[in-house]
Amino acid sequence: MEQQIDDNLRRVYADTANEPLPERFTQLLDRLRDQEQDKSDKSSEDDA
């Protein structure tokens, strides 16, 4: 019985993990990466 529960839970979570990321999350991640890159660029300029 426990093995069936484990197998079913793994199957459900595997399906969820394989779903595509919603567009709004992708856009948010892009904006955050851009902000981090801008910080990194400014830090490099300050060191020069």
1-48 pLDDT, tens per residue?
999 999 999 999 998 888 999 999 999 999 999 999 988 888 777 766
Report the distance separating Cα 26 and Cα 30, nearest Å.
Answer: 6
45 inside domain: yes
35 inside domain: yes
CA–CA distance from 25 to each of 5, 13, 20, 28, 31 (Å)?
Answer: 31, 19, 10, 5, 10
11 inside domain: no
Per the structure, how many domains does the chain have?
1
18 inside domain: no
39 inside domain: yes
30 inside domain: yes
- Structural domain that includes position 35: 23-48
8 inside domain: no
32 inside domain: yes
Name the pTM for this structure: 0.52
